Structure 1
């Protein structure tokens, strides 16, 4: 029997790796007409319940009169049916009203909580007819009931910005990094969580990174972070908050389209020729300047199409937008030079026009924003002189890298251009968040339309196997099949192929899982007439999807769009069958066959590791106040978790336990309103929480507890100096002396012994050591030095355990064990063993060692088998065996008694705290 989840956990939707759409419960009353539809086996869902809310996700089959202008009529409809929608109209603000070619109107509302936008909370109402015949046909989206989070930040803005910058773990990226303040945003789930949203861009010395970071504005901790530009992609999508802000800004400005560039004095539409990537000279639309020169500026459409050639300039010149001195690709005459083709400018320019025409002529959309806004492309940026093998949509323009002996510019591929420009369409419509299943659906839709545009423009039949290839045109050598980055007919399904990972890898699998959804869409295009399929998917995107929708929500959106288009019952069933074939149906997660038992479900993505000892776990989770609180429960799953931390408005997390008591950190404003961090402790079975040490200037971390001893680290953020502080028997903490320049980490505390790893530099060489210190004698009892890297120290079984990685490239890590008196060290798992991990995190009981093995991306790409897995071996050494055969990512292991292990498991598309009593062995 599974344990009861922690009360009121933070349950953000599955776009953030968590929730799943549930079937409708009896607490929601359906309109009377809907009951007959359900009994007739209609593939279109009549009513779908929302998750973490009493507001339904989808209501279809309506025909209710609505008078007045569309937005007012839609709002009045929601207000007139409080028992159905459970929506407070006062929390809704119109974002956009779109009118389709058939006259249908979709009103998109954004939910605000106390004047602060709620991430991903959009509700849509669909109206048909005009005047007295206007009626509501359907409604749905995400609206979160029960939000009570504060709307005023308690943490200073400068500190929030600093925390956002600190989300860049690579110190090279932090140097010179910027954090653009996007304003307050409430994260949904439970009571909600007030955050400050920053767009963080990595600095000049580190890897190129653009990251959306949401920092808790009441306790000063990162609540959510995900990258918006990720490698090995053809363009990651935007964030929901950015999309909402952009759409709201456009609406506030009156949505006026840009004036045609031809109206600007001195600019004249013209034509010329330019070489494409293959050296063929092709006609291009240009603008002739007063001096007779030409630029790649196309004035023939409502949206001006402009193409820039970076000509090898470094990407750092483009952080924050186009440089002021950059001009569109130019030629002194109407015939453009060879570099225009080799850099990709010609193809980017032509492909932008083809994509624009597809959306306008086939789907009735004027440009990426639907209002004819300018379309901008940039080619031939470099990274430290090397081509960037990628293409992106950054919220304002398309950027195409590539070029060299093996690859053309990425602008050559029409499907890639269509993909990137579709991200712009998605941003201005559904605004799908670039994380987890939502991000995978974002990528899937971009792939679908990219391929649809290419096969339509080139006259490729859907029966041609090459029609499903994506990005196959960028290679100079090799076959299209070997070059394609993805293929939409790979037949992947949720049950067989979904990669369960956290946000740290590919934003939760946004590219890795995309073909599960795009494959279903491509099957629909093969089954239906392609034009019908394109209009169906487009309608689902623009009129039904909202920023936090998952795969099942996407299925429901497509089917609801099909009903609105009056598809036949047979056509709708074929659409449903396509989703079924890819395993996209409610409850698919239950078919993955996990061999662990869930103790707590839907753990927030950034929750620190659980602490485990003596049959008890201690871990933070969100509470009804919206701030994480500390809970304890049984590792066997018996009983109900009990709250340990007080309700004082602070974040309580980063816990340790010895099975009898817990110690942890409380972060946030104290009773006097001053922000700081405090170490607290409390018995697991009752008694008040007691403060041990507080600081407003140092960052406290790595709290450890054993009996009456508590140890932790305190880092001065200005000087970088880290202290080890120890309290014995409740006394005030005292500092342990360390040699100058030594930096400790990885504390471990057991029976009066304190262990840690430390690093220091001698003659520009970095050295490290694993150290054991007796709290009774006040002296070091063991010290094991290494020229490699020492990490993950642990006291267990009367020994000190640690992970040691030798210096040098491609080195694997050894698990070592040393006597606590320093007399001997042995390899438990040697670095040259075939079972040695590339990197590892240790946990141990008195009898067994469990480690999480992580590594880099395999040559063939990420698979479930390559995701982090847990292995166990005897504490004296031996052959490691798998702890669990769960196929997804396994994170943050914590050993209990004997071979029992708890960990955070992401296999089923959300993160659960799970347990196994003994290893699975061979999988």
Structure 2
């Protein structure tokens, strides 16, 4: 997609999680002596595997058919590659104009596909002269995950649907079962892949999300927005109406373009004398449809049964063919096809001359749609409207969207994080290269590096362009660390960094040479899970295979260096926080802190188990200690009082699948004790304070409070009929929670204090909903500094700011810690945590879903942490780190730990005091 404007639903459970981990050194490899001055790495180590990522500089005989020769080569060198050829299934091969072949294998574990795992063998020559030139990709050694699910199919589907947070959207959601898959990383995780589709009950917009549910533990292990909304296997041609009376014949028509200029188009003449926008002059049949203002969602998947190509009673097409954008889409599709065929030797988007279909003039929710996208089978162009022409008016936009189709049929980059950003970057590069080539522009033309500059009716090209490929962005200065909740981990935010490097290569090398190098990297070297550094290595390897001189290769390397794309770039980004635990991935990794210690789920350097619970000092001076047992379950959602920890284990053990509340001392020496286990009731919100452990249990739509003292079985604290609790907090013999119930149609929320010793509620403060007051709700209840704290925020205003309020523990009254009118006050859903000295909260300056902010996504638009003294005062930034800041946990004084995505993590980090100014 060119840029994101439609608003998908928010999904819960897991956000985007990294699926590859620690570096493992592969075996040594003897290479030609003259390889050392070459900037192309001869051997690149893989991540979380003993198999190398890339081996170049080879010239070894390989007899037989390409796939057989490739497999035999891998089998003949087990110590070099550490690959089991029996786990590889051929996924296809690419043959370039020079006759060179790339055989692409997919890894299987016990016959089940391994997510993103592809290994490639590159061969040159024919017959007896055939040789292996290079090998590489992602192959994961050490996988031992089970291949049989223990969670029932129906439960897996319900868990996938449960990832939809909005209850109204969840009621109409569907989950398409895409089959079993093994998520790599350590021993791997058996998962079931679902594409969950929802419809927004307010706007009617549809959204799709790829959800991977652990089939043994019964939790969502990975989830991210689908790049395209089309169902798997959907055909672009659908049930389009047949041509009446016989076969159509190639013909030429005349039609206005979007600016009213008459142009010639390739069309077909029907037996009845009518004409349609179908181009039969190329191997790929190119057809263009006019949605006539229908909603884009009507064209998800196969074309509607009543859809027919743009038609005219004679060879002169009507003016609407131009104003709808159909003419430009039709001509643009042909230009893009010719670029890939004539310049790069590729036959269509799929490489096999498959059909190319465009749909123009779609709307969204009854309003003009200012966007365009590749939906997995076809191009879909918005109607524009207002300040915009139809988006097909911009040839670089057409090239961009069609290139997504090429990516899908080659490297199939996962639309997540850096791999997704490279998908967007390649689409930007080729979109602009196609336009520059077709129009004969110089690479020094000011418009050459602008993407989408022709889609605006008014304004300058520079102001209209969506991206500028010559804006010199670098990883160190401009990379925006984003979690999966924002732009799928930054696929649009960070694509200009990689696209800029590619564009600099095109500016410094001959453009045709650059296009061939970048295309070969895409078709022959990149694999689905590659990151920016892998992309650099792929482009250099492609350049070597095309015979670039060492001087030219050094030029390519220099372009990547200039944009900061080189090994270890994440560690060069300046931060003002200290890292406690790197690469803590997944939304289940929620940290806790107290009395100088932290607890969180995540991997430890050199270990492969990323689903265990660890603890360490918030000073970071000693190594982390593992708390949870090694039983294959997920251990997370923890709390600590600085001496002990309590957490939830989710998964299958000897009792079958269930969720269990466990507790243990922070020494890691045990014992680990069980306080609760259930296959049907859902525990959450665990808290610990000395000998007391409390947690919430959701059962039959109601959430109650349970309390365990001195390790005894937990007992329920009764709540009034129809009341539920959330935001549980525990401190020094007192419990706090946000109690909610309905009074007629109105929901009431009330921060509540409960004395364990007295066995009764000692304070309850209802949110402001009395006469004359604006209706509001309370959430985020916390006990700290001898007070009860919460956020009070107006109802019904998505952009409202809330106040932080403080109440006496005996119910004698409240005060205001921070007014909602204060700049940088909490926003709706802001996370809140507190010590005895300060309150820390997360502010989301701009919605993480929907349109980008007016000035584009910048550091200032990402979620940040703020802190205010418990006694009140002006809020201060906790940290000036550039990335998304999430899940704060207060320690002692002003010290806070949180998940920070600045370096592409997120990493668990800490800071002792506010940064004051940034």
When normalised by structure 2's length, the TM-score is 0.92
Unaligned 5+ runs, structure 2: 1-14, 236-241, 768-774, 847-851
Q: Which residue of 2 aligns with 1:213?
A: 211
Corresponding residue of 2:11: none
Please give the residue correspondences for 1:652-671 in structure 2 after superposition, counting only pairs within 5 Å.
Answer: 652-671=635-654
Structure-1 residue corresponding to 2:831: 841
Q: Aligned match of 1:151 in 147, 170, 180?
A: 147
- Is the Cα–Cα contact under 8 Å of residues 502 and 559 in structure 2 kept in the other structure? yes
How far residue 321 of structure 1 moved from its aligned partner, in angstroms, is: 3.1
Q: Distance in 2 between matches of 1:759 and 1:614?
A: 31
For the pair 1:75 / 2:63, whether they are aligned, the reply is no
Q: How many angstroms does 1:237 deviate by?
A: 11
1:3-152 → structure 2 map (5 Å cutoff): 28-33=27-32, 35-38=33-36, 40=37, 42-152=38-148
What is the CA distance between 1:759 and its match in structure 2? 3.6
Equivalent residue for 2:677?
A: 694
* Aligned counterparts of 1:769 and 1:586: Cα–Cα separation in 2: 52
Change (3 A) 1:102 1:329: same
1:790 maps to which residue? 778
- The 5 Å alignment of 1:306-385 reads 306-385=287-366
Contact preservation (8 Å) 1:237, 1:393: no
3-state SS of 2:654 partner: coil
CA distance in 1, matches of 2:278, 2:725: 58
User: Once superposed, what is the RMSD of the aligned Cα atoms?
Assistant: 2.5
> Which residue does 2:843 correspond to in 1?
853
* d(CA) in 1 for partners of 2:903, 2:914: 20
Q: Is the 8 A contact 2:576 2:879 kept in 1?
A: yes
- Corresponding residue for 1:892? 887
Equivalence for 2:184: 188
SS of residue matched to 1:209? strand
Which residue of 899, 904, 907 corresponds with 1:909?
Answer: 904
Shift of 1:626: 5.6
**1:530-552 deviation per Cα after TM superposition (whole angstroms, max 9, x unaligned):** 11111111011101111111111
| 1:407-806 correspondence runs (5 A) | 407-621=388-602, 628-673=611-656, 675-685=657-667, 686-716=669-699, 719-786=700-767, 787-806=775-794
Given that 1:708 and 1:730 are in contact with CA atoms closer than 8 Å, whether structure 2 keeps it comes out as yes
Match of 1:225 in 2: 223
Helix, strand or coil at the partner of 1:605: coil
C-alpha deviations, 1:396-455, integer Å up to 9, x for none? 111111321221111111111111110110011011111111111110000000011111
Task: Tell me, in whole angstroms, the C-alpha distance in 2 between the residues paired with 1:727 and 1:896.
Answer: 24
Farther-moved stretch of structure 1 (728-737 vs 789-798): 728-737
SS of structure 1 residue aligned to 2:52? coil
Asked whether the 8 Å contact 1:15–1:550 carries over to 2, the reply is no
User: CA separation of 1:669/1:605 partners in 2, compared to 1, >3 Å: closer, same or farther?
Assistant: closer
Residue range with higher mean Cα deviation, 784-793 or 680-689: 680-689
Aligned with 2:602: secondary structure? Answer: strand
| C-alpha deviation, 1:144, in angstroms | 0.9
**Structure 1, 788-797 or 749-758: larger mean CA deviation:** 749-758
Alignment partners' CA distance in 2, 1:646 and 1:753: 30
Query: Aligned-pair distance for 1:606?
Result: 2.4
What TM-score do you get using the length of structure 1 for normalisation? Answer: 0.91
Asked if the contact 1:18–1:909 (Cα under 8 Å) also holds between the matched residues in 2, the reply is no
- Using the alignment, how far apart are the partners of 1:761 and 1:859 within structure 2? 39
Indicate if the aligned counterparts of 2:284 and 2:348 stay in contact, CA closer than 8 A. yes
Q: CA deviation at 1:16?
A: 5.2
CA contact (8 A) 1:18 1:602 kept: no
Residue 387 in structure 1 maps to residue 368 in structure 2: yes
Q: Which residue of 825, 830, 852 corresponds with 2:819?
A: 830
SS at match of 2:331: helix
Secondary structure, in 3 states, of the residue corresponding to 2:589?
Answer: coil
CA distance in 1, matches of 2:628, 2:278: 62
Q: Contact 2:371/2:384 (CA < 8 Å) preserved in 1?
A: no
Query: 1:625: how far off?
Result: 8.2
- Is this contact kept in 1: 2:583–2:603, CA < 8 A? no
- Contact map agreement 2:876 2:914 (CA 8 A) in 1: yes
Structure 1 residues 753-799: Cα deviation after superposition (integer angstroms, max 9, x where no partner): 22122344445344322111222223221122223121211111111
Change (3 A) 1:715 1:316: farther
Cα offset, 1:182, TM superposition: 1.0
Distance in 2, Cα, partners of 1:200 & 1:237 = 10
Contact 2:20 2:185 in 1 (8 A): no
Secondary structure of residue in 1 paired with 2:199: coil
Runs of 4+ in structure 1 off by over 6 angstroms are: 18-22, 261-264
Moved more, 142-151 or 675-684: 675-684
The answer as to whether partners of 2:19 and 2:185 remain within 8 angstroms in 1 is: no
Number of aligned positions between the proteins: 879
Distance 1:153 1:263, change over 3 A: farther
In structure 2, the residue matched to 1:232 is none
Q: Give the 3-state SS of the residue equivalent to 1:162 in structure 2.
A: helix
Relative to structure 1, is the Cα distance of residues 451 and 20 closer, same or farther in structure 2, using a 3 angstrom cutoff?
farther
State whether residues 19 and 910 of structure 1, in contact with CA within 8 Å, keep that contact through their aligned partners in structure 2.
Answer: no
- Partner in structure 2 of residue 821 of structure 1: 810
Instruction: Give the Cα separation in 1 of the matches to 2:705 and 2:207.
Output: 33
In the aligned structure 1, how far is the partner of 2:819 from the partner of 2:379? Answer: 49
Query: C-alpha deviations, 1:601-655, integer Å up to 9, x for none?
Result: 1112323311212222222236978672222222222433333223333322211
- Asked if the contact 1:17/1:502 (under 8 Å) is kept, the reply is no
Distance 1:164 1:658, change over 3 A: same
Partner of 1:173: 169
Deviates more, 1:498-507 or 1:820-829: 820-829
Question: How is 1:155-304 mapped onto 2 (pairs within 5 angstroms)?
Answer: 155-205=151-201, 207-229=205-227, 265-304=246-285
| Corresponding residue of 1:254 | none
Q: SS in structure 2 opposite 1:612? A: strand
